[in-house]
A and B are shown apart, each in its own frame.
Chain A
Amino acid sequence: MPTSTDKIFSEFKEHSVAEFFKKNKQMLGFSGKTRSLTTIVHEYVTNSLDACEEAGILAQITVKIEEVDKEKYRVTTEDNGPGIPKKHIGKALGQMLAGTKFHRYMQQRGQQGIGASGCTMYAQITTGKPVKATSFYDKKMISCEVAVDLKTNSAILTNVVEQDTDGSKSGLVVEGEFADVKYDKSSFGVFEYMKRTAMANPHAQFTLIEPTGESVTFPRTVAEIPKKAHSVLPHPLGISTNDLLDLAHRDTDSTKISVFLQNKFSRISAARVKELRDALPAVDFEKAPKDITWSDAEALVKAFTSVKWIAPETDSVIPIGKEQIEKSLQSILAPQFLSVTERPVKIYKGGVPFAVEVAIAYGGHAGRQLADKFTSDVMRFANRVPLLFDNSGCAISEAVKEVDWKRYNIKNFDEEPITLFINLASVYVPYTSAGKQAISSEEDVFAEIKYAVMEAARDLQRYLSGITRDRDKKERRKAVLRYVGQLSKDVVELAGSGKSADVEKKLMNLIETKYSTQIEEDESEIDAPKENGNGKEEDEGEE
């Protein structure tokens, strides 16, 4: 699904994107005080992770949050990435849609490139201050202040200082002051965001310094940088009219639509183009791609569905990995039990490859503890990015809800110390909205999530029933043992013979033997006489 943001931005490009953002910031995650702060941290952390991965560096990211005033915080993000050369600092931090990521078709974290510049703008709007950046890049340290010129969507750099260094340090530090934001430890807050990001990125180390001065580190558990995603051409199935239009308008290399189709899509051959031509006599395949109309695009997308295509390549999907998830969850949750599924890549809408990874953790720090009660925790991720908001409309939450947990001997899923970790990896994540916090209920995606969760639940069930058996046996033994003392005394007195110490010992042996063997005899309760409709006898000697 194309995001409506894409469309909006393409329409507004000629005007001021920055001006537009200012009016529509809530669409991009800047709504609500807690959420705004989480969004800011998310933008910086995502940029850092991407930069490190591209440069082949094992990321180490520190986020520091300081309270400057009521609902006003200073956020400092520091990474050990490659840094940014001076000429790109402005673009990276002070110009909307200037990122390199926007027009590529590959699996990645953020897809819009509005991130860090959006934060700069948010700082400007709420505190009137620019952000400070310090970049260590190629034996140079550049520090400066960056602001966005809201009218022209260009960066304004001030107080630029440049120094030579010995090149031993690289990385980027960004510091900004933001108001109308709030730090709290709710499930929407920065702490939870960092924790979850660490879970999904075991190759990176994260440190969060909270406003109280406390510092939490989520250590790196995997010393291997994730495989680099490569750009792939979109498959004709799974493209939207809007995307097709967009791709065509952007294609300056192809001279006509027939060429554009073969160049910019995977699996479209000359033979397939001929098929399309026959099916769509009204569409002019000879005109330039930039001249394609909405109705042309619409007709093409419709025709795509009636052609037989070779399935898309699936190697563009890069899951986190079973072993990686195991290590990070083990480190962060220290659960009693952990199981991670490993499932093949699937296709939705006939053309979009995706993979679902599910981990289920039980006990330890899994779930949430509220007083003496547990509640389960469903953690949603898309391409390693935690989805903290819009829980109710999300296909992941809905799929989890649809699982019949009782079938897996989990009586009340909501009240168990369980963490469900669910990551959807895809070149094209079907978000429900521009906020990118919920996944839409594509039929294939929904079903796959549900199956994956059920697979994990089966593993947990096996583990739990093992525990129940053991505990049962122990408890049974204990339940009988506690009465040995009293019974031994009474039996000996009743019989008028024997020694109670002897009897006690023998009874204990008996019980130990019985409850250590595998064979269980019937353990039925005494069948007490029940109500028998004989009400007139209540006073028969019960006084």
Chain B
Amino acid sequence: MAKRSETSSKDAFAKLEGLGKGMISEIDGGETPKFSCSLRSKGNVFYDESVGYIRLGDKVEERKFVNVGQARKFMQTVAIANKCKKFLSEGAHTSIRGLFYQLKFSLGEDLDEELFSEQSESNPLIEDLEVALELKREDLNLNTDRKGVVAGPLVLKDKFGGDETEIDCTKQGRSGWMIPSDVDNGMDFVDVDADYVLVVEKDAMWQRLNEDKFWRKENCVLITPKGQASRGCRRLIKRLANKKLPIYVFTDCDAWGWYIYWAIKTGSMNLAYLANDIATPEARFIGVTMQDIKDYDFLGQLTIRAKDVDIKRAEEMLSYEWISRHKEWVNELKTVLTTKKKIEQDALQGPRLSFVGEYLREKISKKKFLP
């Protein structure tokens, strides 16, 4: 797969136009216009041990217009491409829902049909374009909702809406800096002077650590994805990892939380086509682990019953080869299945509010991580 992390909107513009020009020459040559893109179906998704993440295989599919099964989708894809080209030339962004509404119109009076009638039609075609052009949707000025917050010794330059702003993540007070959907285009790292990156699952835990100025004491970048990490959040973590910063992830002690870690580390099947940009195989897991229950006596009192979804997710995770190859994780997951217990990261505040910090410091200094 081509490396595509440093695409600028100029590249995206050229790629879109190139796609169009290719089609025109095909039509001139008496051929059906077409484009090819990697297959995103399950059969073409696999864990690549050599790179340490889940990515697409080599299966490529050709999309043609003169083909009954594909004609409508082909036309729709080109319409999306054309619309995105407009966004780029106007320097304006929108959401994928906004794009959908821009393209929801009738194909003509005599045709009882809309270009798009459901957003569920346009979403997969956006992914097709991303894959075909080797771009991210953010490169096409398509934003997703912001999710995730950061604080710590990180300074960025944000060129947006004609302005240029410097963002110092040490000066974001109690709320932190909200991670945007696009952390590449018009977004430069000015200074990253941290020893490591700490990703904590829950916003409440992040606020606790922020109030303690944990990031200042430890000289780390403190991030919360607020649950499952968004594309922008994962991309930021990846960019920080590219700066050689160790990435430590801290979640609840349950399959649900652990899977947040794995999605950050190896990427996911749904987003396999973006893995090179958003998977961070270097990430390590701090906790909370089942082993912690033995190591910290008080935690034994603070377990709660695992829910059915936790059990189900644990079973699924055991079936993923990239997880089950680590015996530490097999032990953890099997413990969940046998004890049917879980611990929330909040439980570490049991003895005293600042205990979380002590726990993290101990784990990091003793390098007590799970792979």
Binding site for B on A (CB under 8 A): 476, 479-480, 482-483, 485-487, 490-498, 503, 506-507, 509-511, 514, 521, 523-530, 532-537, 539-543
A525 and B69 contacting across the interface, CB-CB below 8 Å: yes
Closest B-chain residue to A496, C-beta based? B17
User: B185 near A: Cβ within 8 Å?
Assistant: no
A486 and B20 contacting across the interface, CB-CB below 8 Å: no
Q: If A541-B145, A542-B123, A543-B95 touch, does A494 touch B107 (CB 8 Å cutoff)?
A: no
> 6 interchain pairs (CB within 8 A)?
A483-B107, A486-B107, A507-B27, A510-B32, A536-B259, A540-B228
12 A-B pairs besides A491-B24, A529-B270, A536-B313 with CB distance below 8 A are A480-B65, A487-B75, A491-B33, A494-B23, A497-B21, A506-B27, A509-B30, A525-B69, A527-B61, A532-B269, A537-B268, A540-B144
A312 to chain B, nearest CB (A): 59
List, in ascending order, chain A residues with CB within 8 A of B17's CB.
Answer: 494-496
B42 and A491 contacting across the interface, CB-CB below 8 Å: no
**With A and B bound together, what is the CA distance between A496 and B81 in angstroms?**
12
Binds A, one of B3-11, B108-116, B150-158, B360-368: B108-116
**With A and B bound together, what is the CA distance between A500 and B354 in angstroms?**
67
List, in ascending order, chain B residues with CB within 8 A of A532's CB.
Answer: 42, 45, 269-270
Residue in contact with B68 in the complex, picked from A487, A523, A530, A537, CB distance below 8 Å? A523
Closest B-chain residue to A504, C-beta based? B27
Binding site for A on B (CB under 8 A): 16-17, 19-21, 23-24, 27-28, 30-33, 39-42, 45, 61, 63, 65-75, 78-79, 81-82, 85, 95-97, 107-108, 111, 113, 115, 123-124, 137, 144-145, 147, 181, 227-228, 230-231, 256, 259-260, 263, 268-271, 313, 316
B16 to chain A, nearest CB (A): 6
List, in ascending order, chain B residues with CB within 8 A of A535's CB.
Answer: 313
Closest A-chain residue to B127, C-beta based? A529
B24 and A540 contacting across the interface, CB-CB below 8 Å: no
B20 and A503 contacting across the interface, CB-CB below 8 Å: no
A526 and B70 contacting across the interface, CB-CB below 8 Å: yes
B124 and A528 contacting across the interface, CB-CB below 8 Å: yes
**With A and B bound together, what is the CA distance between A541 and B146 in angstroms?**
9
Closest B-chain residue to A485, C-beta based? B108
List, in ascending order, chain A residues with CB within 8 A of B270's CB.
Answer: 529, 532, 534, 537, 540
A492 and B24 contacting across the interface, CB-CB below 8 Å: yes
List, in ascending order, chain B residues with CB within 8 A of A543's CB.
Answer: 95-97, 144-145
B65 and A487 contacting across the interface, CB-CB below 8 Å: yes
**With A and B bound together, what is the CA distance between A103 and B24 in angstroms?**
87
Residue of A510, A529, A537 ringed by the most chain B CB atoms within 10 A: A529
List, in ascending order, chain B residues with CB within 8 A of A529's CB.
Answer: 40-42, 124, 270
**With A and B bound together, what is the CA distance between A480 and B72 in angstroms?**
7
List, in ascending order, chain A residues with CB within 8 A of B71's CB.
Answer: 479-480, 483
Residue in contact with A510 in the complex, picked from B66, B70, B75, B81, CB distance below 8 Å? B66
A536 and B263 contacting across the interface, CB-CB below 8 Å: yes
Residue in contact with B268 in the complex, picked from A483, A530, A534, CB distance below 8 Å? A534
B94 to chain A, nearest CB (A): 12
B33 to chain A, nearest CB (A): 7
